[in-house]
Copies of this chain bind each other. A is one copy, B any other.
Amino acid sequence: MVRLAQYSHRIAVAPGKTFIQEGEPANDFFIVTAGHVKLFTLMPDGRRQITGFGQAGDFLGLASGTTYAFSAEALGPLSLCRFSRTGLGALRREFPALELRLMEEASRELVQAQRRMLLLGRKTARERLASFLLEQHYRSPTKAVAIHLPMTRTGIADYLGLTIETVSRTMNALQREKLITITQVTHITLLNLPALEILSRGG
């Protein structure tokens, strides 16, 4: 892995900074080394769809042709490893294992994209929230039932295809039903994992 350094640069990104702009030439490829990012697309009137949240270890920029198909913004302090796309070809020849790893990552993301189509196309607000909380739980390094949400209610809404009001109401409804506890706005404890799982699958 020593030789990797010649192809990559470590960069720090300020909170809130949009470091990938939809439609711009896709020259680089990134790996998140610390922090959280949101990937999103915008409509002319401002409607926003967050297509994914990335955290340490995630690849950004796989899904592009010649221009980026999405924008990316740092949710907090962020560290990235940047690779030039032109260099990626050379990298692949030098590290054949990377080829396989890239393919695995693409397949994983494709499966996740299909799950999200089901969520966005067919699930109710309650089911979306339950699915979201379980996903955050599953992705947390500790797998503890106490989870921290790095994004705001607006972020959750734009991820789940809802409004912030619906997210807020539904979260509080889940708390009233003793499925979760909202310790702070960004700190949720999952009280009943099996019930949340049943809810997230739609019964």
Residues of A near any B CB (own CB < 8 A): 41, 43-45, 47-49, 51, 62-65, 69-70, 99, 102-103, 106-111, 113-118, 120-123, 158, 160-161, 201-203
Contacts and interface: CB of A to CB of B under 8 A. Distances in A.
Contacts of A117: 41, 49, 51, 113, 116-117, 120
A70 B118 CA distance: 11
B201 A43 contact: yes
Copies of this chain present: 2
Given A49-B122, A64-B107, A41 B114 contact: yes
A47 B203 CA distance: 11
B111 A201 contact: no
A103 B45 CA distance: 33
B120 A110 contact: no
A111 B64 contact: yes
Contacts of A116: 113, 117
A106 B48 CA distance: 24
Contacts of A62: 106-107, 110
A176 to B, nearest CB: 24
Contacts of A115: 41, 69
B51 A114 contact: yes
A23 to B, nearest CB: 12
A69 B122 contact: no
Contact of A103 (B70, B103, B111): B103
Contacts of A106: 62, 103, 106-107, 110
Contact of A118 (B41, B103, B111): B41
Pairs A-B, 9 closest by C-beta atoms: A121-B161, A63-B110, A113-B113, A120-B120, A106-B106, A49-B118, A43-B202, A69-B111, A49-B121
Indicate the member of A47, A108, A115, A123 with the most B CB atoms within 10 Å: A47
A54 to B, nearest CB: 13
